[in-house]
Amino acid sequence: MSGVLGRIRSGLFKRGTGILLGQTALVYLFLYIPIVVLVTLSFNDSRYAIVWQGFTTEWYAALLSGETVARVDPNAAWAALSNSVEIAAASVIISTVFGTMLAFALDRYEFPGKRLFTGVVFMPIIIPSIVMGISLLLFFNIVGMQLSIRTAVIGHVAFGISFVAVVVAARLQNFDRTLEEAAMDLGANELETFRYVTLPVIKPGVLAGALLAFAMSFDDYVVTFFIIGQENTLPIYFFGMVRQGISPGVNVIAALIVVSTMVLVGIAQWFQGPTW
Amino acid sequence: MGRDTKRSASGIDAALVRRLRRNQYTGAVVNLAPSAFWLGVFFLAPLAVMFLFSFGQRGAFGEVLLAPENLGLQQYREFFIPDDRSLIGGLWVTIAWAIEAIVPFELSLTSGQATPYVRLLFKSIGYGVVATVVSLVVGYPMAYYLGHLAPERYQNLLVVLVILPFWASFLVRIYAIQLLLSANSVLMNALAVLPGIGADVSLMNSRFAVLLGLVYIWIPFMILPVYASIEEIDFTYREAAMDLGADRLEAFVHVVFPLSKPGVMAGSVLVFIPSAGAYVIPELLGGTDSQMIGNLIADQFGSAGNWPLGAAASFVLMGVMLLSIAAYQRGGGELA
């Protein structure tokens, strides 16, 4: 009995590579089939968006010419997109500068309460976004700040700093500090050393951190929903559309979002090597 | 005269600057100040406000009463202790109920039931655990292939293919799942080949849909850390084990898997925490029976209108997450 089992087992392991390759392929299918189906259905010639009726680009044409398709108004989507870009750009600039400085402080200096402080830096990444969003809402209410795009930027910076700091700190760990000492010995001051020695070395880390902060901001629905007031961002607009059900218009918007972000990120990864 | 004072003033400035530059804390303070300010004011202060609210009471019109005589543990009590019970009795009912729910055999320790909030909390933790286990079982073999077996030329490409969906829009990917699980979709038509399933069946608004969504969104967070730790393994250890008489399974169980444990633990925390705290996924894919604690929190601050209870539920949820991180660190894991 055990002999038979043993033979089956060793047979399995002998074909192990093949089995693992097959399993890997299945996971890739799992990850990509929904996206492929989504993009395909955006070309579906049917008002009822789910059953395939034939190929058409009429939804794209209609939306791009500014026509409303099944409640999806392209002008509202554009406005939401421009808000999203504005918020993401502003919060990325602030959180990249602050987060990089923070990573430096955590890498270079010992100070009392450092462990606790590091814990606080990780918290915005860890706590549920719903808690972060609602607590910011309560706070803005209490201090009497009008909810707007500005409050959304404030909230996004609060988690962006943490993402940037974690990514940059990882890079700094491998940084050879004798390079800085050499620059200082040759007469550079702190700022010059940073500008001409440190920054060029850690630049990939800073860029990766900024990219991550941008994606997190651009993609965020939950935190933004609570702290932006009456304004829309693309995720908030999209969520509202999805709530009303599947429709050709939503399919087109979704396909455009997913294809454009994946192409952009794919290009970034191509130049940077795998980054996460 | 005027020139003299000017020179001495700049001399003092220079001396001050030199002293500041020598001081060991200057660099730390300058670099920390902006982030410490931002996180203090726009992250910790809001949490402190919420923490205070969790000790408050709801007024007759849904307002929050925070006067000293209203402050207390009543919201936590409402969360954990069933109505008609004392503190001890309520705790016992909750624990007994939890044991009954966890053990695989029939056991009746109590006739009572935990509060709906506790049941929801358990359900959320359960979803988190199932999503984590499924991600591990599905993701580990793939990470092993990517980290050890994949041809080196394609390794980067294959890893990028795992990363890409993670960067692509979260909501859009949830919507894509919705397209697959709705009635008459491609997937349902394919499944209709099986006996007993019609193409007009919808898998949406179910526990299955929520779990599938959780795994679909978070599985890259399992694959990537496991891949990273498998890639670092020196596989000559495995050969050594096999030279010493271990068969392939033993070599895996006793050598390779323990060496990949840091990645497994990191991946588990990274999948469990966002899964247990999910809000959007059950909101969009779940039905009335598959809501999670995140939805309860949103409801309390929205339609149900009991802010203090929502605040208390938030801190209970964060407590669960801190516990899971503590468990992770005890197991030797490091943050980042």
State which residue of chain A sits closest to B285, comparing Cα positions. Answer: A243
Mean local confidence (pLDDT), B248-253: 87
| Average predicted confidence (pLDDT) for chain A | 88
> Which tops the pLDDT comparison, B65 or B336?
B65
The torsion defined by the Cα of A99, A101, A103 and A106, in degrees rounded to 10, comes to -130
Is residue A38 located within the same domain as residue A98?
no
Option in B24, B30, B172 nearest A257 (CB): B172
Query: Measured between alpha carbons, how far apart are the two ends of chain B, in Å?
Result: 60
Which pLDDT tens digit goes with each residue over A194-246?
888 888 888 888 988 998 899 899 999 999 999 999 999 999 999 998 888 88
Q: Where does chain B hold its CATH 1.10.3720.10 domain(s)?
A: 115-330
Is residue A199 located within the same domain as residue A119?
yes
Interface test with B, best of A12, A13, A17, A20 (most B CBs within 10 A): A20
Residue A17's domain comprises 2-64
Radius of gyration of chain A (CA): 24
The answer to whether position A155 is within a domain reads: yes
Chain A nearest-CA distance from B126, in A, is: 17
**Residue whose entry in the numeric block shows the structure tokens 């005890």:** B330
**Predicted local distance difference test score (pLDDT) of residue B334:** 63
The answer to whether position A22 is within a domain reads: yes
What is the C-alpha to C-alpha distance for residues A237 and A252, in angstroms, rounded to an integer? 14
Of A64, A88, A108, the position where a domain reaches its end is: A64
Mean local confidence (pLDDT), B132-161: 92
Is residue A8 located within the same domain as residue A109?
no
Contact B211/A at CB under 8 A: no
**Predicted local distance difference test score (pLDDT) of residue B2:** 46
Half-sphere exposure of B105 (CA within 13 A, CB side): 1
The answer to whether position A258 is within a domain reads: no
Interface test with B, best of A13, A42, A135, A137 (most B CBs within 10 A): A135
Contacts of B183 in chain A (CB under 8 A): 50
Is residue A53 located within the same domain as residue A160?
no
**Predicted local distance difference test score (pLDDT) of residue A1:** 46
Contact A158/B at CB under 8 A: yes
Is residue A55 located within the same domain as residue A131?
no
Contacts of B144 in chain A (CB under 8 A): 20
Is residue B4's pLDDT more than 60?
no
Is residue A9 located within the same domain as residue A125?
no
Option in B156, B177, B321 nearest A34 (CB): B177
The answer to whether position A259 is within a domain reads: no
| Domain B115-330: assigned CATH number | 1.10.3720.10
The answer to whether position A266 is within a domain reads: no
Is residue A122 located within the same domain as residue A202?
yes
> Which tops the pLDDT comparison, B50 or B168?
B50
Contact A21/B at CB under 8 A: yes
The answer to whether position A251 is within a domain reads: no
Is residue A100 located within the same domain as residue A11?
no
Nearest partner of B144 among B233, B55, B78, B52, judged by Cα: B233
The interface pTM score, or ipTM, of the predicted complex is: 0.89
User: What are the C-alpha distances in Å from A96 to residues A9, A261, A267, A275, B93?
Assistant: 52, 20, 21, 17, 50
Is residue A28 located within the same domain as residue A117?
no
pLDDT band at residue A129 using 50, 70 and 90 as cut-offs: very high
The answer to whether position A46 is within a domain reads: yes
Which pLDDT tens digit goes with each residue over B23-35?
767 778 888 999 9
The structural domain count of chain A equals 2
